[in-house]
Chain A
């Protein structure tokens, strides 16, 4: 790699070596290098292929703004080589060129494809014959885009985080203006955050080599208590919140006052071949030299509209680049030009560059007098670098997103800020300051004004504001010429937009076809829609539009500023890839027992232990144990607890005796089923409410919402996480209980729907004798800390009785045998308790009002059109859940909600919504299941133990 001598502001650590690969080749870099600076030092000149024509593109802005150096790092496309740090061992690959960057087959679109690929070519070239569109689409989709995302990424290895930060003042942009603003606001006591895109604050001034002065200023800023977010790109403005992307963190910074010191963007010139590698912005060439000590070329032609290009010429000469000619568009190029002339550099005043020549890289530049197309006063120079500077446009996108307005400034040739809403301040180049002094002053002024808006003014600071306003009111504009819309037309492609390969001709054509406003032309040609987001192409395309339509630039206006201002990986916006998983306290035991673990809502649950039917059979024949810790559990306590539940449920709880349990269905005020569960009265003022597993959170919200509205004397405690629960069920359950507790579990002492508190294996438990699975069952609730202990004790005690653990799937078989509904599976948001065959749950004779009463009174009078019933199938076929129930004419009339093979009954059982006329025992329904037609027998009473004798025994 070749490097220049030591530069005063260089960022590289020359005694270090970092090695990475580019397209398989090893590249040596120093710490502090970017991928692009190291590649450029190693002689790489082509960095990418362009979007449409696959033309070679080289470094241009060296500031992460243009699209020219987009590459893929470790397989992730979209990185900009000129800002992406060179890190040890990374794999960098080119994008958008096949088979290689040097030989790209799609280059044919540039050489032969011109007439076939105008704007809108999808709808012109590829429209006939119509039937081939699917083929065209496939080809076009393959050709489109820059780089390819990996098809799969099983577990995203890249962790991203959100951070929320509330501050008094956010300063966006850490150049001289931003640093001064942050300092001024912080010195008045404001809590200030400064977000800067660069590796270190300093902005444009860093390339001047004043590293020590900047470092001292940054120290003062930090010393004043400012939080500096380096590598922090502001993505947009959202009602006072600015998301700042810093590496793998998205800082959501909300501030009362915003200072935008986002600088200005150096503009390219539009001329023939202006995209050839070797055409570089003045700022880009200077950054290569001063930050990375890399020479951008040997012989340079400079084309400029202001002193920017001349300053670059001086800096490049000092670095040993021969300046063969300077074309300065201004008629009088001023003192800087005279000094260069005196040094023997030919400066052509009133000239600009009209053509870059070369096949793979610039080898000649043609300059000519401004205003001429071809012929006449032309000069051709041999060179390997064309340094261009077409002025600068304020980087005002974030301000415009925040509601600021801009207006065309004919003297500067760009859109300048015209009005700012309250709470917004602009500082530095974005606010129109152009000299070192005014940039610093406007920064300080914006910082003081932001602090003043927060009520932090002092006499001294008020006087300083007046002083600064006076200083800034003095004329201090620098001389600049307005670049022509295009020069050298007819000599080759003149690109207005590098991202999307839009030429001056394309803009012309779009207007000719009627897309004669900037917003229409944008959508048709896609100019400003590429990765640069208009940084390089907004102003050139507006100029072209004005020239073509004869309007003023103010009339043409600009396209709407929208987020994101910086290309950002979707993963950053998505945040940390966490899927919260809840596991019960007994989870590890299930794993040890070989459970198939599956998602059930937020929970990881034991789906089965390898033999769902065998497990179900064990519950019916001997005993089974299931972990039901996922149930929602609420303690409702207080003098009004009974009345509160009476208002929430359609049935009665105030009259429930302590130690007894009742089933309840929660209804909405629309009379629809919301959730269900059991309620045990512990004592006069305490009820223990269980909910479905998936409804736990919603029911707690629902209860606390009504409690907030009604203000009953009730306390609500969600103990879902704090308590574990297991259900021991089966003919042998009582005997097993006898081995683990002193509690009398005889049917006389502990009847069906009793709830008792007792010790099991030494642990205080609440035991509910309920029968979701249809056998004698004890649902045992206890502190989660004892989860494994109680599980183990029960499993040990059950061993002689054939106790088996059973999972969620066998539980579903068992409850279906009893026709116990699953809310959300067998019911939907339209189901009423009447249609779901549970009219007995609704106590319309309750004196007092309850949620759903009025709607349920209405539905009680109606005959539901469909009803939930059971069905059996003789032939062993288990229909898919969701299969359609059809009427005699074959029209859909209902659906299957649950279906299983019952091992204990050895036939297919299920539940379905059927037309009311068929909702009686003995009726037959027709089920159409993915093309198979089945005839099922309706059954309205439970398939297993229909009278509940087993349950109550």
Chain B
């Protein structure tokens, strides 16, 4: 795996500068059932295609931001602060 991400604060950097926070799975707003809670905690959609995900500029400004990335090509569509 080798690609670049554009940190909204710092600019284009190698992917190894960043921490991966996984696909965005919104936290339930209302009290979930036990099954819903476990789905939120442990299950991921794991799409082959474009998904929104969290990234953390670990070796940089230490900001969390959102990226939209094609998981099959690693093409990053956009990045933005939340």
Q: Is the CB of A239 within 8 A of B64?
A: no
Task: Give 1 or 0 for each of B28-67: 1 = CB within 8 Å of chain A CB.
Answer: 1001101001001110000000000010101000111100
Chain A nearest CB: distance from B32 CB in Å? Answer: 6
Q: A858 to chain B: which residues have CB within 8 Å?
A: 34, 37
In angstroms, Cα B28 to Cα A854, docked, is 10
Task: Give 1 or 0 for each of A697-732: 1 = CB within 8 Å of chain B CB.
Answer: 000110011001101000000100000000000000
The residues in B between 1 and 41 inclusive whose CB is less than 8 angstroms from any CB of A are 1-4, 12, 14, 19, 21, 27-28, 31-32, 34, 37, 40-41
Name the contact of A670 in the complex, choosing from B41, B56, B81 (C-beta under 8 A).
B41
Name the contact of B31 in the complex, choosing from A670, A709, A711, A854 (C-beta under 8 A).
A854
Q: A241 to chain B: which residues have CB within 8 Å?
A: 2
Q: A711 to chain B: which residues have CB within 8 Å?
A: 82
Q: B41 to chain A: which residues have CB within 8 Å?
A: 668-670, 855
Q: Is the CB of B40 within 8 A of A669?
A: yes
Chain B nearest CB: distance from A75 CB in Å? Answer: 32
Q: B1 to chain A: which residues have CB within 8 Å?
A: 239
**A164 touches B (CB below 8 Å):** yes
Q: Is the CB of A854 within 8 A of B64?
A: no
In angstroms, Cα B32 to Cα A892, docked, is 35
Chain B nearest CB: distance from A624 CB in Å? Answer: 35
* Chain A interface, number of residues (Cβ within 8 angstroms): 22
In angstroms, Cα B56 to Cα A858, docked, is 31
In angstroms, Cα B1 to Cα A166, docked, is 17
Q: Is the CB of A701 within 8 A of B40?
A: no
Q: Is the CB of B14 within 8 A of A252?
A: yes
Name the contact of A238 in the complex, choosing from B2, B12, B21 (C-beta under 8 A).
B2
**B79 touches A (CB below 8 Å):** no
Q: Is the CB of A704 within 8 A of B63?
A: yes
Q: B4 to chain A: which residues have CB within 8 Å?
A: 166, 254
In angstroms, Cα B12 to Cα A239, docked, is 16
Q: A709 to chain B: which residues have CB within 8 Å?
A: 27, 64, 82
Q: Is the CB of A705 within 8 A of B56?
A: yes
Give the residue among A700, A705, A718 with the most B Cβ atoms within 10 A.
A705
Q: Is the CB of B64 within 8 A of A705?
A: yes
Specify the chain A residue showing the minimal Cβ separation from B34.
A858
Specify the chain A residue showing the minimal Cβ separation from B14.
A164
Q: Is the CB of B82 within 8 A of A669?
A: no
Chain A nearest CB: distance from B21 CB in Å? Answer: 7
In angstroms, Cα B13 to Cα A252, docked, is 12
Specify the chain B residue showing the minimal Cβ separation from A670.
B41
Chain A nearest CB: distance from B44 CB in Å? Answer: 14
Q: A410 to chain B: which residues have CB within 8 Å?
A: none
Given A164-B14, A166-B12, A669-B27, A701:B2 Cβ within 8 A: no
In angstroms, Cα B62 to Cα A704, docked, is 9
Q: A240 to chain B: which residues have CB within 8 Å?
A: 2-3
In angstroms, Cα B19 to Cα A589, docked, is 36
Q: A705 to chain B: which residues have CB within 8 Å?
A: 21, 54, 56, 64
Q: Is the CB of B74 within 8 A of A854?
A: no
In angstroms, Cα B62 to Cα A436, docked, is 53
Task: Give 1 or 0 for each of A822-863: 1 = CB within 8 Å of chain B CB.
Answer: 000000000000000000000000000000001100100000
Q: Is the CB of B2 within 8 A of A708?
A: no
In angstroms, Cα B27 to Cα A241, docked, is 37
In angstroms, Cα B49 to Cα A414, docked, is 38
Name the contact of A700 in the complex, choosing from B2, B14, B42, B62 (C-beta under 8 A).
B62
Name the contact of A854 in the complex, choosing from B3, B12, B14, B37 (C-beta under 8 A).
B37
DSSP class of A's interface residues: helix, strand, loop or mixed?
mixed
Q: Is the CB of A701 within 8 A of B27?
A: no
Specify the chain B residue showing the minimal Cβ separation from A857.
B31
Give the residue among B27, B40, B81 with the most A Cβ atoms within 10 A.
B27
Chain A nearest CB: distance from B36 CB in Å? Answer: 9
Q: B63 to chain A: which residues have CB within 8 Å?
A: 704, 708
Chain B nearest CB: distance from A898 CB in Å? Answer: 29
In angstroms, Cα B40 to Cα A610, docked, is 50
Specify the chain B residue showing the minimal Cβ separation from A705.
B64
Q: A704 to chain B: which residues have CB within 8 Å?
A: 62-64
Specify the chain B residue showing the minimal Cβ separation from A704.
B64
In angstroms, Cα B74 to Cα A930, docked, is 49
In angstroms, Cα B34 to Cα A670, docked, is 11
Q: Is the CB of A708 within 8 A of B40?
A: no
Q: B62 to chain A: which residues have CB within 8 Å?
A: 700-701, 704, 718
Chain A nearest CB: distance from B67 CB in Å? Answer: 13
In angstroms, Cα B12 to Cα A516, docked, is 48
In angstroms, Cα B43 to Cα A467, docked, is 59
In angstroms, Cα B15 to Cα A254, docked, is 12
Task: Give 1 or 0 for each of A856-882: 1 = CB within 8 Å of chain B CB.
Answer: 001000000000000000000000000
Given A700-B62, A704-B62, A711-B82, A855:B2 Cβ within 8 A: no
Chain B nearest CB: distance from A647 CB in Å? Answer: 11
In angstroms, Cα B54 to Cα A144, docked, is 47
Chain B nearest CB: distance from A122 CB in Å? Answer: 35
Specify the chain B residue showing the minimal Cβ separation from A716.
B62
Specify the chain A residue showing the minimal Cβ separation from B32.
A854
Q: B81 to chain A: which residues have CB within 8 Å?
A: 708
Specify the chain B residue showing the minimal Cβ separation from A166.
B12
Q: A701 to chain B: which residues have CB within 8 Å?
A: 19, 56, 58, 62
Q: Is the CB of B56 within 8 A of A855?
A: no
Give the residue among B37, B65, B81 with the most A Cβ atoms within 10 A.
B37
The residues in A between 472 and 500 inclusive whose CB is less than 8 angstroms from any CB of B are none
In angstroms, Cα B3 to Cα A252, docked, is 12
Specify the chain A residue showing the minimal Cβ separation from B24.
A709
Chain B nearest CB: distance from A635 CB in Å? Answer: 15
Chain B nearest CB: distance from A96 CB in Å? Answer: 35
Q: Is the CB of B31 within 8 A of A239?
A: no
In angstroms, Cα B16 to Cα A252, docked, is 12
Specify the chain A residue showing the minimal Cβ separation from B17.
A164
In angstroms, Cα B37 to Cα A858, docked, is 10
Q: A670 to chain B: which residues have CB within 8 Å?
A: 41-42
Specify the chain B residue showing the minimal Cβ separation from A243.
B2
Q: Is the CB of B82 within 8 A of A855?
A: no
Chain A nearest CB: distance from B30 CB in Å? Answer: 9
Q: Is the CB of B3 within 8 A of A708?
A: no
In angstroms, Cα B81 to Cα A737, docked, is 47
In angstroms, Cα B27 to Cα A668, docked, is 12
In angstroms, Cα B37 to Cα A241, docked, is 41
Name the contact of B3 in the complex, choosing from A239, A668, A718 (C-beta under 8 A).
A239
Specify the chain B residue showing the minimal Cβ separation from A672.
B41
The residues in A between 236 and 271 inclusive whose CB is less than 8 angstroms from any CB of B are 238-241, 252, 254
Q: B32 to chain A: which residues have CB within 8 Å?
A: 854
In angstroms, Cα B1 to Cα A241, docked, is 10
Chain B nearest CB: distance from A191 CB in Å? Answer: 14
Specify the chain A residue showing the minimal Cβ separation from B75.
A239
Q: B19 to chain A: which residues have CB within 8 Å?
A: 701
Task: Give 1 or 0 for each of A680-694: 1 = CB within 8 Å of chain B CB.
Answer: 000000000000000
Q: A708 to chain B: which residues have CB within 8 Å?
A: 63-65, 81-82
In angstroms, Cα B4 to Cα A241, docked, is 10
Q: B37 to chain A: which residues have CB within 8 Å?
A: 669, 854-855, 858
Task: Give 1 or 0 for each of A138-167: 1 = CB within 8 Å of chain B CB.
Answer: 000000000000000000000000001010
In angstroms, Cα B41 to Cα A239, docked, is 33
The residues in A between 498 and 527 inclusive whose CB is less than 8 angstroms from any CB of B are none
In angstroms, Cα B53 to Cα A27, docked, is 61
Q: A254-B4, A705-B54, A708-B65 are in contact. List 19 more A-B contacts (CB 8 A).
A: A239-B1, A239-B3, A239-B74, A240-B3, A241-B2, A254-B14, A669-B41, A670-B42, A701-B56, A701-B58, A701-B62, A705-B56, A708-B81, A709-B64, A711-B82, A854-B28, A854-B31, A858-B34, A858-B37
What are 21 A-B pairs at a CB distance below 8 A?
A: A164-B14, A239-B3, A239-B74, A252-B14, A254-B4, A668-B41, A669-B27, A669-B37, A670-B42, A700-B62, A701-B19, A701-B62, A704-B63, A705-B54, A705-B56, A705-B64, A708-B81, A709-B82, A718-B62, A855-B37, A858-B37
Q: Which 10 A-B pairs have the closest CB atoms?
A: A708-B64, A238-B2, A670-B41, A239-B2, A241-B2, A708-B82, A854-B37, A705-B64, A239-B3, A669-B41
